[in-house]
Structure 1
Amino acid sequence: MKNAALAQWRTGEFSVGAWINLPDLHNAETLARMDYDWLCFDLQHGLLSYSHLLALIPAISATDTTPLVRVADSSAAAIGRVLDAGAHGVIVPMVDTAAQAAQAAAACRYPPTGNRSCGPMRGLLTDGMTYLATANSEIACIAMIETAEGLANVEAIAATEGVDALFVGPVDLCFGLGIKPGDFANPAFTAAIERIVAATHRAGIAAGLFGYSPETAKAARDQGFNFVSAGTDIAFMRQGAAGALATVRGTEPRAARGGY
């Protein structure tokens, strides 16, 4: 296997992905064929299940887009299961300590580096036994920093062996800092972002951000992030539908209700 997104991060190349919340393989395949560097299938908050993942990952496997999965929790079982289904990396939520980061990293790697159990269903199907020889260096372990405790320990988390990147969920980080959700101009939030990015740079790993709009995603590059999501499948559909309707009616696009 070859993790193209991870290769970009290791060389400092900026990469752009998209977030998948809907269990529709046609949406995923369409985005993959639009040249996004990676897609993240969200099993934590998205409307997806593990069974959906078994169709979604194969749907993009004919493209160069890297499949990532945000797992529901940091357990070895949750991480190993999505890797066996073909994910090339996991985004692990609510990582608060270096010990938790180390457990997640170990769950991503086969012995002697880690403790991942052997049974890579899709890996063996696509790569045969060579998967076992390459997976440890090609699977990306991405730890989310989204709590006050995680921020307090961010330098140790970033320096944890086997962690390839840190990822910020901006709204959860707001909650963690005790500030209003979406108050991204708050000095406490901007200081936290600077600290997280600085920690990744010192550790020689990548920094990622969940972008709530193309504008915030673009700004993240100037903040020192290496990879960012440009939006979600739901948001893309909403924006496109609103723009098309406004064009036909000759009106301004109506502000859509809801988010993501």
Structure 2
Amino acid sequence: MQKKRKVLRAPFIVTVAAAASLAGAVALPGCDPTVQGGSCPEEMPERGSSCDADDLSCDYIDSCDNPIDFRCVDGAWQVEDEMSCNPPPPACPEEMPANGAPCDGGIGTCGYEMITGCGPMPIDAACVLEDDTWRWQVHEIFCNPPPPDQCLTAATANECAGLGPTCQWLVPGCAEGSGTPALPAVGCFPSLPCEADEACPSGTLCQEVVVNPCVASSPDGATCAACGATEHVCVPPSAATTASK
């Protein structure tokens, strides 16, 4: 009597399916068995900024469109692998930024000029890392301006310059017709324009006059083609009265 052969096909299929299932569990793309928790930030983190999932590895694209790898090590983001490139350095904004405003890391320190009671003065704005965010830190300016009438005591341009940025030497400009009059005479005046008579030293009045802007741009006026610009300065009452007629 002939015996039937045992059918092995079904168990064989089950074994192969189980092996394939196990292989798929080990080789799933994007799975990193060293990561215990946490997730990658949507935006590329700053080097050295804090993270809360050690051994977490994240991939990004840098400013040169190159891949860059970050890993969380001892609570801080470190760059594991990056390609070198030479992107243009961040540029300083044209206008002085507000203190505490966000900025691009690596921009460094930018120089600006601020009008103060002592006249125009240089001021620095530095881009620094604060609490994982790059922010502008604008340095304060302190000055103790001399009284405005001190400028009027200078008899020469050199004496005026010696009083510092709070004073300026002005020269009459080219006034036309019955419009704004020219500055009555050369002299040393406060750098800040006056807004009312009360802001002027005793014995003077606030008046809009035409001055020669070329004197300020270069000693000999060679780099300036203009001959007149308006400015509010404190002038003797006689000059102000004549100018207003």
TM (normalized to structure 2)?
Answer: 0.21
- Greater share of residues in helix: 1
| Higher radius of gyration, 1 or 2 | 2
- Greater share of residues in strand: 2
TM (normalized to structure 1)?
Answer: 0.20
Larger RCO: 1 or 2 (CA < 8 Å, sep 6+):
1
